[in-house]
Structure 1
Amino acid sequence: MSSMNYIEKGLLFKKPTQPNNQQDFVEKLLEKLKNSLSIALFHFYPLSGRLVTQKSQDPPSYVIFVDCSNNNPGAKFIYATLDMTVSDILTPIDVPLVVKSLFDLDNAINHDGHTLPLLSIQVTELVDGVFVGCSMNHYIGDGTSYWKFFNIWSEIFQAQGQDVPISRQPFHNRWFPEGYGPLINLPFEHHDEFISRYEPPELVERFFHFTAESIAKLKAKANMESNTNKISSLQSLTAHVWRCITRARGISNDQVTTCMLAVNNRPRIKPSLPEEYFGTSIDTVGTQSTVGELLENDLGWAALKVHVAIANHDDLVVRKLVKKWLESPTIFSLNRHLPPFSVAMISSPRFNMYGNEFGMGKPVAVLSGHANKCDGNVTSYEGREGGGSIDFEISLSPNAMRALELDENFMNAASVTNPSK
């Protein structure tokens, strides 16, 4: 994760119409947010630390760890203002560039956590709304950890003034395969040997909404065509989007395309790790096909390939991958390791996003920064209405995005929408 960006996700709220004194409302909100954040950080204490690299010559050693001592500056909290409305953010079909400014530490990579905070909260006041943006170092947590932190922060905020313990304590014990840990000796002498910074090409980012009914139809179709009942809703939708994006790119039939998915290792390890395991416990699984083969076969064929890739990622595979990495560490880089013509599925609609409240009711939208975005990146969110609906934020080249919206097969299952609807 060294060369990857911080996780950037945030929640957009509408200001209550009740308070006559908006300035007083915002001041009280900021005070409550800071107080509840400080309590949340007591439970999620690694987020208050800084990274430290420790090197020695005899024996040769290069180790990166988190220093959680009291002499660190801690997490960061920023208040900003933006002379725009909620509608200005959500009405454009394309995600507006201004969304990037709603996150602190934009462009930072995880290794920058040696000098930058591992967590930064930016609260941006709009004319009629408030955006709570969170930038978390991906060394410290993955999507599961990120939203568990957000959920507990919201829980503490809502219980202010009451001595109520949090519902689920984070689990901080580190997991290592037998014979390894707690320190990992990296085969480097200087961070210049493994750090790279990724600059994405020109991309169009757009939200597409999939209702529960639309997804159910895709799932039924995928299972019927592959003569099984094992393919999930998300796997069916993933295969559908993989095929449609590949078709929109207009590449030759002999090119290879890859569908990559971030998967949670916690339930796959035996014995399983608790859901509250606070850290980064993910892998990327993938399946490949030539363009011609992917488009000539039906949805069920592609969905089964996605299903098999995920189903095969079990305890044995996870342990082999971890052991292989520990024996020969490599640092992932979007510049070097992302296959061409790939579709990369990140985040998860299973995360509790719209359940977070900070005294302003349910969020009207979940938005992300530009972190780790690439051509073919698909970020998953739960649909605001719930019930199994899903929103995908798709990042594509302008030409491919235009072609995708002209694809009847794709648009029959999706609607172009701002993320509040």
Structure 2
Amino acid sequence: MAPIILRNTYTVVPAEPAWTGRFPLAEWDQVGTITHVPTIYFYDKPSESFQGDVVETLKNSLSRALFHFYPMAGRLRWLPRGRLELDCNAAGVTLIQAESEAKLSDFNDFTPTPEFEKLIPQVNYKSPIETIPLLLAQVTKFNCGGLSLGVNVSHAVVDGQSALHFLSEWGRIARGEPLKTIPFLDRKILWAGEPLPPFASPPQFDHKEFEQPPFLIGETDNVEERKKKTTVAMLKLSKPQLEKLRSRVNTSEFADPARGFTRYETVAGHVWRCACKARGHSPEQPTALGICTDIRRRVEPPLPRGYFGNATLDVVAASTSGELISNELGFASGKISKAIKNLTNEYVMVGIQYLKNQEDLKKLQDLHALGSTEGPFYGNPNLGLVSWLTLPMYGLDFGWGKEVYMGPGTHYCDGDSLLLPDQNEDGSLVLATCLQVAHMEAFKKHFYEDI
């Protein structure tokens, strides 16, 4: 790809004075991935009806958005015991202006490649954490007139739902429209410092996501597995293929006739089985699947509309490769469904209590984006599969038209996967998955042949 020329770097602060002070983070904000998560949008040449300047439009609307979402303009600070807090100091976010002789057509099918990294602002984690912006964005103008907008957002501050809420309101402000949903910024609802409600009976603790994940038989960690070269694939699952899988899984002996399996449970079970086959596991190999679940509607009372923060929790389905492969697909989907059903209000509150009592949270923080081999979960023989199926992903319009493509950046390690709705809205899905190079071709073969 043609080189990227950086023209300007701006620090954008809230348009008006906003609240400043120390902002306690919920315990859920501080475990799992606490680094930045990249996404990228590609746009055709702005329509003739757009009369403004792209960079000025982004800069001015971003400044106004930060007034409403002022935590995004702050900085993280380390506290003792591996804790983080948010300093709402209006230090601002980073907006980079760049250009390239490349054309949109150079990106083929937009599969994430190392080239994407040049279009997304990179974060230097060697810098002190209190100097790192929570949001970095880069707008790149291409030779054809098209644009890309690469965004990197701190996962310690927001989850996917909240990040997309912020981006969609940024777009609305750029188009001259009022906010659709005012952010709810008080996190004490999920703050572990609050007393827990009394339980009718002492709750059972079964938070497998905080336990040591399985390793390959004969190994005492997965460090060597995580060092192996990986590659990313974007695999489309057409609506007929999805319906074929769902028909099979929902007529199996493992299906609940009253409910059936969801799209996610169906596809996740299929991915889990295919990965076990592609990795060549022995039948007795333990394996686990991390399932990122939104708890906004699962806690009591439900979180307010527009809750801005992290409200997702990983639950874990566990089995052996032999069980998964020797049984029909419904067995794997049933394991996943059961893990998700266990996520009740009580489960969440007991998890908060557990985290509150931890002497140090660092062992539960996944730093894989830092190039670290630490972190609780990913890597052979395990998988993580995050669903973006219900997120408002598409249609980010700053006044010059909606994107032609939106997708993940290059934030991947072995076993890290995303499930996305196809942008054509035809009922098909896209699996973005990262596996070791040695396993990817076998995975693709099983992924399609096992349908």
With structure 2 as the length reference, what TM-score do the two structures score?
A: 0.77
Taking the aligned partners of 2:76 and 2:46, their CA distance within structure 1 comes to 39
Matched, 1:386 2:417: no
State the one-letter code of the partner of 1:145: S
Structure 1 residues 245, 63: CA separation in 2 closer, same or farther (over 3 Å shift)? closer
Match of 1:187 in 2: none
Matched, 1:48 2:88: no
Matched, 1:136 2:153: yes
Matched, 1:406 2:445: yes
Once the two structures are superposed, the pairs formed by residues 126-205 of structure 1 within 5 Å of their partners are 126-128=142-144, 129-158=146-175, 160=176, 164-176=177-189, 180-181=193-194, 201-205=228-232
State the one-letter code of the partner of 1:410: Y
Match of 1:38 in 2: 63
Q: Contact 2:75–2:129 at 8 Å: present in 1 too?
A: yes
Q: Contact 2:41–2:407 at 8 Å: present in 1 too?
A: yes
1:37-61 C-alpha deviation (Å, 9 max, x unpaired): 1111111110111123466xxxxx8
Structure 1 residues 274, 17: CA separation in 2 closer, same or farther (over 3 Å shift)? closer
1:154-200 C-alpha deviation (Å, 9 max, x unpaired): 12222x2xxx4211111101134688259xxxxxxxxxxxxxxx986
Match of 1:310 in 2: 340
Match of 1:365 in 2: 405
Match of 2:131 in 1: 115
Unaligned stretches of 5+ residues in structure 1: 56-60, 183-197, 414-421
Taking the aligned partners of 1:64 and 1:216, their CA distance within structure 2 comes to 44
Match of 1:280 in 2: 310
State the one-letter code of the partner of 2:346: L
Secondary structure, counterpart of 1:309 in structure 2: helix
Structure 1 residues 107, 216: CA separation in 2 closer, same or farther (over 3 Å shift)? farther
Structure 1 residues 150, 322: CA separation in 2 closer, same or farther (over 3 Å shift)? same
1:60-107 C-alpha deviation (Å, 9 max, x unpaired): x8863222234x2x1111011233222222347x53210122211346
Matching residue within 93, 113, 137 for 1:96: 113
Structure 1 residues 207, 411: CA separation in 2 closer, same or farther (over 3 Å shift)? farther
Taking the aligned partners of 1:244 and 1:401, their CA distance within structure 2 comes to 10
Secondary structure, counterpart of 1:355 in structure 2: coil
Match of 2:222 in 1: none
With structure 1 as the length reference, what TM-score do the two structures score?
A: 0.82
Structure 1 residues 337, 227: CA separation in 2 closer, same or farther (over 3 Å shift)? closer
Structure 1 residues 354, 112: CA separation in 2 closer, same or farther (over 3 Å shift)? farther
Taking the aligned partners of 1:178 and 1:33, their CA distance within structure 2 comes to 33
Matched, 1:330 2:361: yes
Could you say what the CA RMSD is over the residues aligned between the two structures, in angstroms? 2.8
State the one-letter code of the partner of 1:377: D
Structure 1 residues 67, 106: CA separation in 2 closer, same or farther (over 3 Å shift)? closer
Match of 1:290 in 2: 320
Once the two structures are superposed, the pairs formed by residues 342-357 of structure 1 within 5 Å of their partners are 342-357=382-397
Match of 1:395 in 2: 434
Match of 2:93 in 1: 75
Taking the aligned partners of 2:191 and 2:408, their CA distance within structure 1 comes to 37
Q: Contact 2:82–2:361 at 8 Å: present in 1 too?
A: no
- How many residue pairs get aligned? The number is 379
Percent of aligned pairs with the same amino acid: 28
State the one-letter code of the partner of 2:246: K
Taking the aligned partners of 1:241 and 1:281, their CA distance within structure 2 comes to 25
Taking the aligned partners of 1:16 and 1:178, their CA distance within structure 2 comes to 43
1:97-135 C-alpha deviation (Å, 9 max, x unpaired): 1012221134649x9541111111111122232111111
Structure 1 residues 108, 305: CA separation in 2 closer, same or farther (over 3 Å shift)? same
Secondary structure, counterpart of 2:390 in structure 1: coil
Once the two structures are superposed, the pairs formed by residues 6-25 of structure 1 within 5 Å of their partners are 6-16=36-46
Which segments of structure 1 move beyond 6 Å, counting only runs of 4 or more? none
Unaligned stretches of 5+ residues in structure 2: 1-29, 196-224, 369-373
Q: Contact 1:172–1:278 at 8 Å: present in 2 too?
A: yes
Taking the aligned partners of 1:275 and 1:302, their CA distance within structure 2 comes to 33
Q: Contact 2:40–2:151 at 8 Å: present in 1 too?
A: yes
State the one-letter code of the partner of 1:46: P
Secondary structure, counterpart of 1:406 in structure 2: helix
Taking the aligned partners of 2:417 and 2:45, their CA distance within structure 1 comes to 30
Taking the aligned partners of 1:139 and 1:173, their CA distance within structure 2 comes to 15
